[in-house]
Amino acid sequence: MKKFLLLLLTALLLPGCSDKNNYEAAILAELERGQKTQGSRDYNVPSDKMAACIVEASSKNMAGLFAFDPARLTAYRNYTKMLTLTQSADPKKTLEELRNDFGSAKELNEARSNYTESELECLALFVAHEEK
């Protein structure tokens, strides 16, 4: 019975780790593309640490109560899709899908704001740390 529960728990956690890792990889790719890194370059913020910080900060305002909540895992997938919108073969279709995935255009805008605010919060943390 214990082995079964362990296997079940492992099976549930692995996809959750994957969704979170995919989200972090999408952030890292965006940072490295240079679209959002002007401040990072000015303050020598490592992209990998910045990405990890953004994941942590933005997760606080995502759906779901805890890291492996199904709603949180869906949010990770939706945020990843949001960040890779410009790389989509059909951005208009993907944008419409995102509106549906998030529930409305307003909720999609709130998600984008959450991401942007998290990015700025992390940049401020790194800058404050460097000034000490």
Residue 41 banded pLDDT, cuts 50, 70, 90:
low
**21 contacts 27 by C-beta, under 8 angstroms:** no
Q: Is the pLDDT at 11 greater than 90, yes or no? A: no
Distance CA 44, CA 112 (A): 24
Q: Per residue in 100-132, pLDDT tens?
A: 999 999 999 999 999 999 999 999 998 888 776
Per the rule left: phi > 0, alpha: psi between -120 and 50, beta: everything else, 34 is left
**83 contacts 30 by C-beta, under 8 angstroms:** yes
Q: What is the pLDDT of residue 46?
A: 86
**13 contacts 66 by C-beta, under 8 angstroms:** no
Q: Per residue in 56-91, pLDDT tens?
A: 999 999 988 777 778 888 999 999 999 998 888 998
Give Dmax (Cα) for the chain: 55
- Whether pTM > 0.85 for this model: the answer is no
Which residues are CB-contacts of 69 (< 8 A; sequence separation ≥ 6)?
63
